[in-house]
Structure 1
Amino acid sequence: MPETKRSILRRAGTFLRFVQQQRARLPQLAAGLPAPDPAGPLLIDGSESDWTPCGLSVARGDRFQISARGHGWLAKGLGLVFEPQAALFVRIGGVGPVRRIAAADWVFEAWTNGEVEILSKGLSEFADRNGTLLPGKRPAMRPGFSVRTARTEAQCDGTGVPADWNYLWRIGEAQVFTGERDDVEVSLDASVGILQRDVDIPLTGNTLLEWDWLVESLPSALPEDLAFTHDYLSIAVEFENGRDLTYMWSAGLDEGHIFRCPLDWWCDWETHWVLRSGPTGLGQWHNEKRLIAADYREALGEPVPARVVRVWLIANSVFQRQSAHARFRNIRVA
């Protein structure tokens, strides 16, 4: 089956429902957002074309705190807004790795020598691990984030990431996933995280992805195939060609629906397969088994790559800012 698309009429209906939902929420949302600190030494709004130096130089092993306040409207009329913990990235000395603060106040241990720099990423995308931005417009998201940096003796903050898993560098660290290596808990609240575990498995006709999941609540009440309704939970496999196939639980798309990610850059790499849909089965454990090569062929066609290189867990609620909770366990590629 080739990639499937819903009709323009049905997608337009989803967008109208999204507009109604967001406008109803807007007064309460706007009233609860933090404001930038007017005395903050730095104010960035996402329109900057490059990283902003903070005026603090650190040496490897130094601890320093980033404190950010404020918010940035991506589209105020639609209630689309980012807070610092979803969009503010840090690097040192003009080179990677880039890292995201996972809370408004976050303590890092310096991983290299140099001046601390910050960037409000928004919907921009990195071209490399040094934080070079891909070309594209970066509209201001005002009022913006006020940012303070300072050395500290406080302990470094942690994400609670399970053993053998790591956050995808281009999305950044978060406080979304906790638990054990084979029993991972997901808690979402206007946040985003992609967790990865490296594997190296030949992809044959018998290669199987198996897992158990318990989804208690979904981060969207609307079909997730529009950019600003693309809040979802899924498990994915990444292949040696850089593409990934994600199996998601959708709020409103039909089971078996296959679609490219609606977000820029991601649309070239990520394909979604709706494995379960709607409220039926929420709050219950389900065991899933997928023959990966057959699914790749059906969703993406030929040629089928030779190896699976990573397993992903994906959780996003930054657009509609709804909470969600799930668990994944007994994940196996064999």
Structure 2
Amino acid sequence: MCFACWGLSSPAGKISRRDVMLRASALGLVLPLAAPALRTAQAAEQSAPADVVSGIKDIIAKASSPELVAFKPFEINGTDLPWTDLGLDAARGQQVTFLLGGRMWLSREHDLWFGPGLVFHARTRGLRPIYNPMLDTGTMTASQDGRIEVARSAAEWASEDGVLGTPEDIYKKADVKITGIALLWRGDARVGIKSLLAHGDVGGLLKSELARLERGGKLPAGWSNLLGFGGGQEIFSQGADGEIICDTTGHVSIIERPLSLPLASRPRLAWRWKIDQLPSVVPEDQAATHDYLSIGVKFEDGQDLTYIWSEHLPEGKVFRCPLPAWNPIETHMIVRSGKADLGTWQAQERDIAADYAAHIGGSAKAISKIWLLAVAPFQRRHGACRYADIKVTTGDNAVHKV
């Protein structure tokens, strides 16, 4: 989901309205005019970044917190190449909290943007793992001794080592400005944040991060974040009855679980889901409205097929992903349509091999992973659902619970 590859990002004032519309048409985008919202968003963008940094610095000065070892303001701009060394040394196991402001714009004219948490990434000493909070606050635990580095990526990593997959000339054209502050703690980040909160807050960031830490979110057992999409534990969680709960507003998460089975074994994916709120109020087959909740299968050839419940698109419709960078590898199928059954548990089953043969027809001989997807950054609406009894059954009646 290389959002920068849309070709819509451009420095403010460098692209005409006509150019935006032509680019949108070339990409098959349907972009609603949102000039009033745009003016409000731009005004907020101009004031918020300075408030985050200067406001938190004022609180730090008042608090004189013994838990705060060091802090470092930073700024990430479109022309900056990853990665940026913050000049902040952390010891393995030490916690660092990031408080973020700013936006990454896809089209200012049409109020299409991503919040800073979606595209912000950090790591220690140039080594994996890469941390992505997804929310606009987050706390990373240093995985080794060394310097803390930060970067921005809209799903543009080629590997877990943070190598850039997007060509540098395209990457540097992004219309983005992220400002933030890194807070390095002596002990538990929660204690440190409380010591600052006693002297104020900026836009609720400290309060939000404390609440996030105290929730202690964890991914469902056996699942992990897809490369480039962190923060899955803030969107997906394990319910008391074993179901997987998904709740998102304006964010993106894809989590995966390994499951290697040959297509020749005739695997069938079955699940139950209860969708309480769909994140799109319009058809999801356009890039600017591509917000959805889905369960999917990844194949050994790199292709994936996801099954979607849509309010507007008809059951049985199949389409390639409208995001250009994902179009060559991702296929979507509408398996349930309309609003009538929202809020109730519904059972689904798909013949994976038959769907792959009919709609992808690639070289894969096996499936490799099961995916759960929550995508809601474009319309920035709320989506909520639950999954239960996910399993893959092969032709010999062997059952693989997911």
> What TM-score do the two structures reach when normalised by structure 2?
0.72
Match of residue 176, structure 1, among 235, 243, 248: 235
Q: Is 1:167–2:198 an aligned residue pair? A: no
Q: Which runs of 5+ in 1 are unaligned?
A: 1-10
Paired position in structure 2 for 1:133: 164
Q: Secondary structure at the match of 2:109?
A: helix
Match of residue 36, structure 1, among 30, 49, 65: 49
Q: 1:207 to 1:142 in 2, by over 3 A?
A: closer
Paired position in structure 1 for 2:152: 120
Q: Quote the offset at 1:141 in angstroms.
A: 2.9
Q: Is the 8 A contact 1:69 1:147 kept in 2?
A: no
Paired position in structure 2 for 1:213: 273
Q: Aligned-residue CA RMSD in angstroms?
A: 2.5
Larger displacement relative to structure 2 (73-82 or 140-149): 140-149
For residues 319 and 24 of structure 1, what CA distance do their matches in structure 2 show? 17
For residues 19 and 186 of structure 1, what CA distance do their matches in structure 2 show? 28
For residues 204 and 104 of structure 1, what CA distance do their matches in structure 2 show? 45
Task: Letter of the 1:61 partner, please give it.
Answer: G
Q: Where does 1:194-209 land on structure 2 (aligned, <5 Å)? A: 194-204=254-264, 206-209=266-269
Q: Quote the offset at 1:74 in angstroms.
A: 2.7
Cα deviation, 1:79-131, whole Å, max 9, x if unaligned, reads 11222221111111122221201433322211123211111213x51111111
Paired position in structure 1 for 2:292: 232
For residues 373 and 186 of structure 2, what CA distance do their matches in structure 1 show? 33
For residues 265 and 80 of structure 2, what CA distance do their matches in structure 1 show? 48
Paired position in structure 1 for 2:200: none
If each structure's strand is expressed as a fraction of its own residues, which one has the higher value? 1
If each structure's helix is expressed as a fraction of its own residues, which one has the higher value? 2
Match of residue 87, structure 1, among 115, 119, 127: 119
Q: Is the 8 A contact 2:157 2:166 kept in 1?
A: no
Match of residue 255, structure 1, among 289, 301, 315: 315
Cα deviation, 1:23-42, whole Å, max 9, x if unaligned, reads 56546656766711354721
For residues 264 and 147 of structure 1, what CA distance do their matches in structure 2 show? 33
Q: Secondary structure at the match of 2:101?
A: strand
Larger displacement relative to structure 2 (61-70 or 224-233): 61-70
Q: Secondary structure at the match of 1:263?
A: coil
For residues 306 and 93 of structure 1, what CA distance do their matches in structure 2 show? 39
Bigger radius of gyration among the two? 2
Same amino acid, percent of matched pairs: 33
Cα deviation, 1:9-61, whole Å, max 9, x if unaligned, reads xx99x955x414x4565466567667113547211134322211111122322
Larger displacement relative to structure 2 (292-301 or 96-105): 96-105
Paired position in structure 1 for 2:371: 312
For residues 188 and 29 of structure 1, what CA distance do their matches in structure 2 show? 21
Q: Quote the offset at 1:317 in angstroms.
A: 0.7
The count of residues paired between Structure 1 and Structure 2 equals 319
Q: Quote the offset at 1:155 in angstroms.
A: 4.7
Cα deviation, 1:279-325, whole Å, max 9, x if unaligned, reads 2321221100111100100111254x332221110001111101111
Q: Which runs of 5+ in 2 are unaligned?
A: 1-24, 55-71, 191-212, 394-402
For residues 76 and 222 of structure 1, what CA distance do their matches in structure 2 show? 21
For residues 307 and 93 of structure 1, what CA distance do their matches in structure 2 show? 37
For residues 161 and 155 of structure 1, what CA distance do their matches in structure 2 show? 20
> What TM-score do the two structures reach when normalised by structure 1?
0.86
For residues 219 and 32 of structure 1, what CA distance do their matches in structure 2 show? 24
For residues 372 and 242 of structure 2, what CA distance do their matches in structure 1 show? 12
Cα deviation, 1:160-206, whole Å, max 9, x if unaligned, reads 31111111122222411112494111111111101111222232363
Q: Secondary structure at the match of 1:130?
A: coil
For residues 67 and 155 of structure 1, what CA distance do their matches in structure 2 show? 13
For residues 212 and 30 of structure 1, what CA distance do their matches in structure 2 show? 42
Q: Where does 1:246-325 land on structure 2 (aligned, <5 Å)? A: 246-303=306-363, 305-325=364-384
Cα deviation, 1:197-224, whole Å, max 9, x if unaligned, reads 1222232363110000111111111222
Task: Letter of the 1:309 partner, please give it.
Answer: S
Task: Letter of the 2:86 partner, please give it.
Answer: C
Q: 1:170 to 1:140 in 2, by over 3 A?
A: closer
Q: Quote the offset at 1:69 in angstroms.
A: 2.3
For residues 323 and 24 of structure 1, what CA distance do their matches in structure 2 show? 22
Q: Quote the offset at 1:152 in angstroms.
A: 4.2
Larger displacement relative to structure 2 (60-69 or 309-318): 60-69
Paired position in structure 2 for 1:145: 179
